Structure 1
Amino acid sequence: MPLAPDDSLPTADGLVFRPLAPTDLEAWLALIVRIAAAERAHWHETRSELAVFFEDTVNPAAENTLAGVESSGALRAFARVSKNPSGTKAAVFGGVDPQWQRRGIGAAVLAWQEARVRARFAADGVPNPLVRTYTEEDNPSHTALLRQGGYSVTRYYSEMLRPLAEIPVVPAPAGLRIEPFTPDLAEAVRLAHNEAFADHWGSEPRSVQQWGFLLRNEDLRTDWSAVALDDATGAVAGYQLSMYDPERFDREGRWEGYTELLGVRRAWRGRGIAPALLADAMARYKAAGMDHACLDVDTENPTGALGLYQGMGYRPLRRTLAWDKLL
């Protein structure tokens, strides 16, 4: 879609702004790594997660990304905006090179993102444009930028951890079996995920393209992932998809298996499928040499996920904050 008049590019001393291009990929990743190191971030986007942004047909990079480059051509700032056509929120993320911070660049980039969000909502015919972004709780500079910009915390996500020295044995509930995730189950699991998360705060259905991006993620471990299948119908009742970050040990000093997604469809809830999937995941992690299991949870999840994880031995480690602003 063409840029609206209020989508003018930011101005910042020493930088020229333009959309990100596929040829920026390596420089973009390097910039994100520099920012993460300076902020002592516990996670950052991977190469494959950045690469798919140039394939996203719903959020074309030419209109929804920003690169701030200095005269030498070095990338010093970036931004991205994403929104589903019928969605009631837009997600934004961005960053500024540590050596270029405190020059007003972050505020200028954020203002561009908000203008872009307004244009996206107007084009989709959706009222009340809402911006959402996320920060780690121990990131004071990013937190200050958002507070000054009129954002407020609307949700807390807790990263939880448990050692794998001893793991629970939880059999599959009667009438169900747990099987390894295989590519032929990918679409059924996508549909199961969309159904399972339909009542989760902030969740939106994942399209075939978005699901494909997830399945291509370089950190996804399909051999650590599993599905719970109904014996009578073969339907996917629940699922868990796991990831492994090879840089995690250097940052944290732990070998961790990470449960990226865990869901149970409504008709099968209350039968113990989630604990069985988690126990199965732990066994897979331990067999692969991991010494900890990790996951994140919305602390206000209405399905009782926090209590489930605590009962399975997970303990809070740190928090991520969700910030909203109604434009």
Structure 2
Amino acid sequence: MDFSDGLVLVGGVEVGTARMTWWDEADGTRLYLLLGSVDAAHQGLGYGRQILAWLEERAREHAAGDSVGTPMFGVNPESERDLALARAAGYRVAFTRVRMIAKLTEPREVRLPEGFEVRPASAGDHRAVFEANAEVFASNSLGYVQDSFEEFEQEIADDYPDHRLWTLAWVGDKLAGWVVSGQDDTPWVGVRPAYRRRGLASALLRANHAQLWAHGVQTASLWTLAENPTGSVALYESLGYRVVERQPRYRRRF
């Protein structure tokens, strides 16, 4: 078996692909995502196990020369065959991303808990949202990658530039809670720990839904983690969201 430019060759015949990428997560994990496939005509011949073993060895070689983070293997099975291979190799679910959607209806008046104020968002709030995200998600979100502020601003410019769809709650000059939305997606919902258990998150989401509705958006969509210790799935379900997609992420220690 030969590997060249992402292709897997046996006797000069292409039988599949093999690719690896990696990144550092906020909890100190260096995740090596192993991406391999076997062409349908060559399945059932053991090539999948060989590709996975080869990718794992490449990850070990890379990690040996770099002391950053705690290395782990990761795979994202896309079929029952892939899943069986991953489980046989010792991979288990580390966490599950879930996509949730809510059909919006004409909103009623929304009141925030006492002491909080919603103000119109602007580019001047980017740094506050970035720092609040880092504070909240880096400490308790599996798989969370802390981007730089420059990367954060670029993502906003590309995907979430309409500040009319953002809902930010303040206590004085302190950002307490935030919902950042675009026309098709809500990437960030958060409340700082000091302001939780006051109904702020649900009130902010209702207010955000009203803003989305006012600008022609009829379906709200977001991703969260099934294992989120804050109970985000239950919160979103209480506001009319339902799970429409699950993406288990499988990992194994070196």
- Do the two structures share a fold, i.e. TM-score over 0.5? yes
Pairing partner for 1:262 from 182, 186, 189: 189
Which has the bigger relative contact order, CA under 8 A and spacing at least 6? 2
Percentage identity across paired residues of the two chains: 29
Q: Would the alpha carbon gap of residues 152 and 283 (structure 1) be closer, same or farther in structure 2, given more than 3 Å must change?
A: same
Structure with max Cα Rg: 2
Are positions 1:143 and 2:134 aligned together? Answer: no
Partner of 2:155: 214
Alignment of 1:107-146 (within 5 A): 110-111=52-53, 113-125=55-67, 129-134=71-76, 139-146=79-86
When residues 290 and 133 of structure 1 are mapped into structure 2, their CA distance, relative to the original with a 3 A threshold, is: farther
1:87–1:204 CA contact under 8 A, matched in 2 = no
Distance 1:85 1:159, change over 3 A: closer
Tell me the secondary structure at the aligned position of residue 289 of structure 1: coil
Q: Does structure 2 conserve the Cα–Cα contact (< 8 Å) formed by 1:81 and 1:113?
A: no
Q: Deviations over 1:94-133 (max 9, x none)?
A: 4659778848776566445434543454444357522234
**Counterpart mapping for 1:83-94 below 5 A:** 83=24, 87-92=28-33, 94=35
Cα 1:215/1:134, change in 2 over 3 Å: farther
TM, length-normalised to structure 1: 0.62
Task: Tell me what 2:249 maps to.
Answer: 322
Report Cα offsets for 1:40-89 as digits up to 9, x if no partner.
xxxxxxxxxxxxxxxxxxxxxxxxxxx44999xxxx76542222598224
For the pair 1:11 / 2:32, whether they are aligned, the reply is no
What letter matches 1:239 in structure 2? W
Q: Which has the higher strand share?
A: 2
- Cα distance, 1:229–1:98 mapped onto 2, change above 3 Å: farther
User: In structure 2, what is the Cα distance between the partners aligned to 1:186 and 1:128?
Assistant: 31
Note closer, same or farther for the CA distance 1:186–1:148 as it changes in structure 2 (3 Å cut). same
CA distance, structure 2, for counterparts of residue 91 and residue 195 of structure 1: 25
- Contact persistence 1:86–1:124 (CA under 8 A): no
Question: Is the Cα contact below 8 Å between 1:237 and 1:265 reproduced in 2?
Answer: yes
CA distance in 1: counterparts of 2:243 and 2:236, whole angstroms: 10
Gaps of 5+ in 1: 1-9, 18-66, 245-256
Q: Are 2:36 and 2:52, in contact at CA under 8 Å, matched by a contact in 1? A: no
Of residues 237, 240, 245, the one that matches 2:179 is 240
Unpaired stretches in structure 2, ≥5 consecutive residues: none
Paired with 2:152 and 2:100, the residues of 1 have a C-alpha distance of 25
CA separation of 1:68/1:317 partners in 2, compared to 1, >3 Å: closer, same or farther? same
In 2, Cα distance between equivalents of 1:173 and 1:85: 31
Match for 1:174: what amino acid? Answer: E
Alignment check: 8 A CA contact 1:92 1:131 kept: yes
